[in-house]
Amino acid sequence: MRNLSATLTAAQKTLSYTPIWKVVFTRSGQATKTYTGTRVLGITHTETPSSSKAEIILHNADGALTALDFEHYQAVISYGMTTSGGDEYSATAPLRVRVQEFHSGMGILRCILRSISILDQLAEDKSLKDYTQEADDTNTIKTLIDAVAAGGSGLNGAYAGYDAVTITYDAGYDDGIINSFIPADYFAISTNESRLDKIDELLGYTSCKRRVEADGAIHIFDPTTTGTTYDYEYKFNVAGDHTFWNKTIRLRFVNPNKEIVESGEGHEPFYRSSATSATSYALAPKVHTTKRRLASDIEAGAIAGAKIETYELDDERGFATVPMNVGQELWDYVKVTDSRQGDTRVGNIQYLQRNVKIPLGSEGMTFNMTLSFGKVAPESMLANMLTTGDGRLSNAQILDMITALDTNIENNRNALNELITIWNSFKLGEVTIPTTFVARRLKVTHRLQIPVGKDMFD
């Protein structure tokens, strides 16, 4: 949760405030452009642990934006309220404009800007070279994360030419794994693997999470996941507390619910440990095994526990629509109390969508947000949208769902194209096996014969 002033915190817990928002656009060598509610007609700003994107709709009836090129401008969106202390804002993490559209319709002239986060930009950064490590390599998780973020000549120049990204390690970040576990020969970078994928792979051993914050840095921290000290609370119809409008709660089976971490075959000495998500495991065991080069049973147990915690956090447990909380951040540990249904829901936020829309005609002002405990499930999103008894969705809600589906389809298409590219490179004989070929395990079910100078696919 971002730090807010006492007056701003108090104001957002009422429904009587005047909402305000602004977007500041900057680019090296260009004049700074700041637009407020007189120019910004709407914002749809979605944040997840792996991506943050915003659609910003600007009024252009006066033609003031027609000649402007916003390509690659940094966009910082701030949300706030007019309080007893004046106009107060809370800035979100910076984005980068990737798409600019001009829309001309009957009585409508608009400029639409679509922006992406630092994480999305890291997903665009594909490796230029391969990088491998030996069994006696001593790089820790933290060392490798820093190297991926730095780019440059490190890691065999795999990410040379890309901008360095600032990594900030917050107080209490060390979970006992990130500074000690050495992936050794189980970490490698292949050509065209993205920087985001490699950071995600490395953090996957730990209970640490990452979040881009308003300072533009990627913060690494170990979030609170249990206990009764919350980053924020929402309570329905309780004076002095932040209310909510709609919520859906879910009970989900954790799968996998047992993680085994053990040494690879042939490793001496051999280490092994495991962890379970007890409730789901008791109902039906679903086991996943990870083989790595380990230093002890204790290390194996720590990694197994961290992976189980991630499985549990990822399984969505609730979804809510609330009046705008200008300081809410991903991974905040939040409690929602529902006096209507007589229940509570506690969890870590892995989905945020802030919505701003200036009303047209008789429409109401939109200044709210939706949040999810765990990775959001389409079923909960749909249930939470059904705010009327007849179960009909508004055009805007239908458009939101179509946009989400389109994004998933596009992501799947890109992943499939990458697989096709890799397969074609083998099929067309474009892959050259180096003089020294290292494989962790090569299993042959029949006699292996590799003719010298022959195409393997002949």
pLDDT at 403: 62
Residues 177 and 58 in one domain: no
Residues 138 and 171 in one domain: yes
pTM of the complete model? 0.84
Residues 128 and 206 in one domain: yes
Number of domains in the chain: 4
Beta carbons of 43 and 58 less than 8 angstroms apart:
no
Six-digit token string for 420: 């096709």
Residues 350 and 363 in one domain: yes
Beta carbons of 273 and 246 less than 8 angstroms apart:
no
Residues 230 and 98 in one domain: yes
Q: Is residue 275 part of a domain?
A: yes
∠ Cα 343 349 355 (to 5°): 100
Q: Is residue 1 part of a domain?
A: no
CATH number at residue 181: 3.55.50
pLDDT at 217: 98
Examine the fold and report which residue of 267, 288, 314 is the final residue of a domain before the chain moves on: 314
pLDDT at 382: 60
Across 83-109, average pLDDT: 94
pLDDT in tens, 412-443: 766 676 676 666 655 555 554 544 445 545 55
Tell me the pLDDT band of 255, cut-offs 50, 70 and 90: very high
Residues 33 and 145 in one domain: no
Domain that holds residue 403: 393-458
CATH number at residue 239: 2.30.300.10
Residues 397 and 386 in one domain: no
Examine the fold and report which residue of 314, 333, 362 is the final residue of a domain before the chain moves on: 314
Residues 30 and 112 in one domain: yes
Q: Is residue 133 part of a domain?
A: yes
Q: Is residue 401 part of a domain?
A: yes
Average pLDDT, the chain: 87
Q: Is residue 51 part of a domain?
A: yes
Residues 98 and 173 in one domain: no
Distances in Å between the Cα of 439 and the Cα atoms of 130, 155, 290, 421 are 15, 19, 17, 22
Distance of CA 209 to the CA centre of its chain: 10
Tell me the pLDDT band of 263, cut-offs 50, 70 and 90: very high
Residues 54 and 107 in one domain: yes
pLDDT at 108: 87
Tell me the pLDDT band of 386, cut-offs 50, 70 and 90: low
Residues 278 and 364 in one domain: no
Examine the fold and report which residue of 222, 239, 268 is the final residue of a domain before the chain moves on: 222
pLDDT at 384: 56
pLDDT in tens, 172-201: 999 999 999 999 999 999 999 999 999 999
Residues 26 and 160 in one domain: no
